[in-house]
Structure 1
Amino acid sequence: MPGTHGEHDATADPGFRPRIPAAEWDDWRWHMRKRVNTTEKARRWLRLTPDEEKAIADSAGRYRWSITPYYASLMDPDDPACPIRLQAVPAPGEFERFPGSDVDPVGDTYYRKTNRVVHKYRDRVILLVTEACPVYCRHCTRKFHTTDVSGTYFRDDEGGSFDEDLRYIAEHPEIRDVLLTGGDPLSYQDGKLEEIVSGLRAIPSVEIIRIGSRFPVLLPQRITDGLCEMLARHHPVWLNTHFNHPKEITEESAAAVDRLLRHGVPVGNQTVLLRGINDDVATMRTLMTELLRIRVRPYYLYHCDNVTGVAHFMTSVEKGWEIMEGLQGHITGFGVPQYVLTTRIGKVPLARPYFTRTPDGLSLRNHRGEEMAVDTAAYPITERDAR
């Protein structure tokens, strides 16, 4: 929120956190330059615990980390269990080993066809644009991208030509939908991003361009009128973002979403179920209804992938079922996301069914646990003989 004398007051404790001139606070490039990525910088925003300081030190040479001043301003400076803080500050759990964890459990490298194209589904691909992010989320499914050592899903250098990638897409006319991801594609300047988007739009078989970006959450100042006008020149363009907790829905993030929508860019949300952050019904209900209030459509609720360095965030599938039961029928239907597990064979829906098959038809259950039976005469289970 704006402070006095044209400054942003980043906290109620002005003796602890910095006061930032509004012109700088509103400039996304300033936030990118001033990202928190050392213990010394973090102490300007947070009172770090010994565990956090050790995890930051242990991250050196292992995992990148950085936090935009905007996202840091959402954190409780005194509570290490703050749901925003848990998503961005390194923690000891990242260095534990968990059964079955893998750097690439979803198969990105298995399905990679060029330096950037991952072709898992017949009619759509992802285009890995960059390794860079404004904040390196501790729960990232592509955490291998954020290692300080040899971790990368790119076959070649990120800065190379996109010609091979665009050629592959053009040579496969079954591809009608391309998702730009990474890293975060909006880390690129508008001009470079438009080169990529216009290159895709020049391919006749590409009908839909999607952008996966957490900038509306982590640095909403990035969603400028100029960016939105550029995207509008290449419609249909969709954007999926990644709100995980109600605290992330702020006046700034709502304004960023509004700018996208006013330029014809639909916004969907993909939440990850995270232990200690949103793994309770009340938090998830509030998140979904608040998303609807700012006109963001809940899309997926991802079960947290068993990724190396991430698995400490995983809940049980049963916990996911509990949360879905607490959403279905209790909030507006289009506010209920689809609960899925991402695997090498694709996204698999995990929602528990509200029906069972019986010898006479179906046994149905509603969100209150009430049951009724319908027989095959009223609702046939199999197709009637057409003869």
Structure 2
Amino acid sequence: MTIEDYNICDEQDRFIKLEKSIKAYEMAKGSIKTGIEDFEIVEAQKQKILKKLRGTEEDWKDYKWQLNSRFDSVEDISDILNLTDDEKEKMKVVGDKFRFAISPYYMSVINPNDPNCPVRKQSIPCGEELDESGVLDPMDEAGWSPEELVTRRYPDRLIIKVTNMCGMYCRFCQRRRMIGEHDVNAPKDKIKKAIDYVRNHPEVRDVLVTGGDSFMLSDSMIDWLLSELRSIEHVEIIRFGTRTPVTLPQRITPELVEILKKYHPIYVNTHFNSQREITEESKKACELLANAGIPLGNQMVLLNGVNNDPHTVRKLNQSLLRIRVKPYYIFHPKTVKGTSHFWVNLEEGMEIMETLRGRTSGLAIPTYIVNGSKGLGKTPVLPNYLLYIGKEKAVLRNWEGLPFEIDNKK
């Protein structure tokens, strides 16, 4: 259809065309279930895990119990997921090279009847991780570290890595080189040196606290860290990078939220990669943070076999808005060693972005980001809507591909 055809079609045809453009998604979205929609399977797995661990409902709500009860051996997992002998053998080999640990909660979100469950793919080791493609530090974080624990790539912001610990170790993690055999929070004196670096650089207005997972610090340590950063006049905002709302929602306690509230403006970026990760418990965690006035953003990693599908991403992003999380970034996967089975090409990411624009609200459309190799920074990748620009006019296209002109005069 040309723009002339579009302009002369009657109003009824116009709305019929709009309805047809979304029909495929409307037919597909019912089969792309969130954890809330698949509650019965999630609950059955939870009860199975509690019985195995001899835990109670009160234990389940305690994030420290969740951490102490993480599944970190093939034997622990095999009966929960009905693993084959071949799967168990490959897990053991991979586990010797790349550590794994999965919270009981996150294990309960895996559909044991679906070998392609997106939660399973993110958490359970597989033989493909033995592929030697890629490098351990594709972002060259070591080369962009002016102070231990600090990574700085931009003029006005930096990150402080305060721990190597997570509630669950993602199989695609960009920092899997840091995991090691033991969970270690950074010593207070080293964190203090990182904070002093911020204090001595007045151009730094934005500090991101990450890890590992920044919410693995104790409440008292988070309180101290925030009080130190807030005492620096030029620090305007403080952000936390955490996947606990997704993998360990029990960590988001009223006590933690009360600490965060004292130091506004605080922002939290989390990492939902699959609609299945949206459960009643993750929803509650996000609502606790949002009710405290903390803006929530989501940084989805585009992963082969997990979410590299336009309908899946649309369902995820629209579901995130319902729990008050703004889709913020889609990250193109990094070429980390052992993660090649998750890699996608740029065309897949571009197609997803193309199918979001105009077919869902702008709030549900994140920015597609490619991280420059060797730490060259985040670079947005967008479909090309600008077709021509001149001194008198510009030609663009809309979300349906229809061209139009605008004046381009001062």
1:346 aligns with 2:377: yes
Contact 2:45 2:108 in 1 (8 A): no
Residue pair 2:272, 2:299 contacting (<8 A) in 1 also: yes
- RMSD over aligned CA atoms reads 2.2
> Aligned-pair distance for 1:354?
0.8
**What's the counterpart of residue 128 of structure 2?**
93
Task: Tell whether the 8 Å contact from 1:61 to 1:148 is kept in structure 2 after alignment.
Answer: no
AA in 2 matched with 1:366: N
Give the Cα–Cα distance (whole angstroms) in 2 for the partners of residues 195 and 238 of structure 1: 17
- DSSP 3-state at the match of 1:240: strand
Match of 1:136 among 160, 165, 169: 169
Structure with greater contact order relative to length (CA < 8 Å, sep ≥ 6):
2
8 A Cα contact 2:245 2:285, kept in partner = yes
Q: Which residue of 1 aligns with 2:12?
A: none
Report the Cα distance in structure 1 between the residues aligned to 2:220 and 2:213, rounded to whole angstroms. Answer: 15
* Deviations, residues 4-53 of structure 1 (Å, cap 9, x unaligned): xxxx9964379954444211111111100100001121124211234532
In structure 2, the residue corresponding to 1:120 is in which secondary structure? coil
Give the structure 1 partner of residue 386 of structure 2.
Answer: 355
Note the 1:225-240 alignment, pairs <5 A: 225-240=254-269
Displacement of 1:148 in angstroms is 4.2
1:178 match: secondary structure: strand
1:210-249 paired onto structure 2 within 5 Å: 210-249=239-278
Distance 2:100 2:77 in 1: 11
> Contact 2:49 / 2:104 at 8 angstroms: preserved in 1?
no
CA distance change for structure 1 residues 15 and 222 in 2, over 3 Å: closer, same or farther? closer
Partner of 2:326: 297
* Aligned equivalents of 1:41, 1:246: Cα separation in 2: 26
Aligned to 1:5: none
1:364 aligned residue? 396
- State the partner residue of 1:59: 94
Of Structure 1 and Structure 2, the greater strand share is in 1
The equivalences for 1:67-82 within 5 A come to 67-82=102-117
Long gaps (5+) in structure 2: 1-34
Are the aligned partners of 2:46 and 2:108 in contact in 1 as well (CA < 8 Å)? no
In structure 1, the gaps of 5 or more residues are 2-7
Post-superposition CA distance 1:304-345 (Å, at most 9, x none):
111111222011100000100111111101210000111221
Q: CA deviation at 1:55?
A: 3.2
Counterpart Cα distance in 2 of 1:144 and 1:203? 32
Q: Which amino acid aligns with 2:161?
A: L
- In the alignment, which of 139, 159, 163 is matched to residue 126 of structure 1? 159
CA contact (8 A) 2:270 2:297 kept: yes
CA distance in 1, matches of 2:178, 2:369: 23
Q: How many residues align?
A: 365
Supply the distance in 1 between the matched residues of 2:95 and 2:322 (Cα, whole angstroms). 40
Which residue number corresponds to residue 187 of structure 2?
159
TM-score normalised over the length of structure 1: 0.89
Alpha-carbon displacement from aligned partner over 1:152-209 (angstroms, at most 9, x marks no partner): 9x9xx93351221111110000000000011001111111121212111111111111
Query: Which one is further off, 65-74 or 157-166?
Result: 157-166
Cα deviation, residue 97, structure 1: 2.3
Q: Distance in 2 between the 1:158 and 1:146 partners?
A: 13
Report 1:277-296 matches (<5 A).
277-296=306-325
What's the CA shift for 1:365?
Answer: 1.4
Deviation, 1:61, is 3.8
Match of 1:4 in 2: none
Deviates more, 1:359-368 or 1:126-135: 359-368
Contact 2:238 2:266 in 1 (8 A): yes
* Counterpart-to-counterpart distance in 2, 1:235 and 1:329: 34
- The separation in 2 between residues aligned to 1:193 and 1:120, in whole angstroms, is 24
CA contact (8 A) 1:16 1:44 kept: no
Matched residue, 2:84: 49
* Distance in structure 1 (CA, Å) of the matches to 2:294 and 2:263: 10
1:357 maps to a residue whose letter is Y
